[in-house]
Amino acid sequence: MTDEILIDKFLKGHTEAFNTLVWRWEKPLYNFILRYLGDSEQAKDVLQNTFIRAYKSLPRLKDHSRFSTWLYQIAHNQCHDCWKARRHDNLNMADLENDEDENQSERKTIVDPDSGPDKSALNSEIAEYLRRALLMIPEEQRVVIIMKEYHGLKFIEIEAILQIPLNTIKSRLYYGLSAMQKIFRQWGLDREDLRYEM
Partner 1 sequence: MKCEDYQNLIIEELYDEISPDDRLKLMTHMRTCPECATKLKTLRTTSQTLHSWPDADPSLNLTFVPENRLTIRDRLKRFGFRQFAYGFAGACAAILLILAIGNTRITYSDGRFEFQASLRPTGTALQPENYLTKADLEQFKLENYAAISQIIIENNESERVRQALMMSDLYKDFESKRQSDLQVVSQALRQVNYGSEQRFNQTDRALNALIQYVNYQSAIKP
157 binds partner 1 (CB under 8 A): no
Q: Which is nearer to partner 1, 89 or 126 (CB)?
A: 126
Letters for 34-53 (x = contact with partner 1 by CB under 8 A, - = none) are xx----x--xx--xx--x--
* Shortest distance (Å) from residue 94 CB to partner 1: 23
Cβ-contact 89, 43 below 8 angstroms:
no
- The interface region with partner 1, picked from 27-35, 64-72, 74-82, 93-101 by CB under 8 A, is 27-35
| Side-chain half-sphere exposure of 135, counting CA atoms within 13 A | 26
Which long-range contacts does 189-196 make (Cβ < 8 Å, 24+ apart)? 189/110, 189/111, 189/126, 189/129, 189/130, 189/133, 191/111, 193/113, 194/110, 194/111, 194/113, 194/126, 196/113
Q: Write the single-letter amino acid at 137.
A: I
Q: Which x/- pattern over 104-143 shows residues binding partner 1 (rule: CB under 8 A)?
A: -------------------x--xx--xx------------
State which residue, 89 or 170, has the beta carbon closest to partner 1.
170
CB of 90 to partner 1, least distance (A): 27
Q: Which 8-state DSSP code applies to residue 150?
A: I
How far is residue 76 CA from its own chain's centroid?
A: 9
Closer CB to partner 1, 77 or 123, in the complex: 123
Residues that bind partner 1 (CB under 8 A): 13, 15, 18-19, 22, 26-28, 30-31, 34-35, 40, 43-44, 47-48, 51, 55, 123, 126-127, 130-131, 145, 148-150, 154-155, 167, 170-171, 173-174, 177-178, 180-181, 184, 189-190, 192, 195, 198
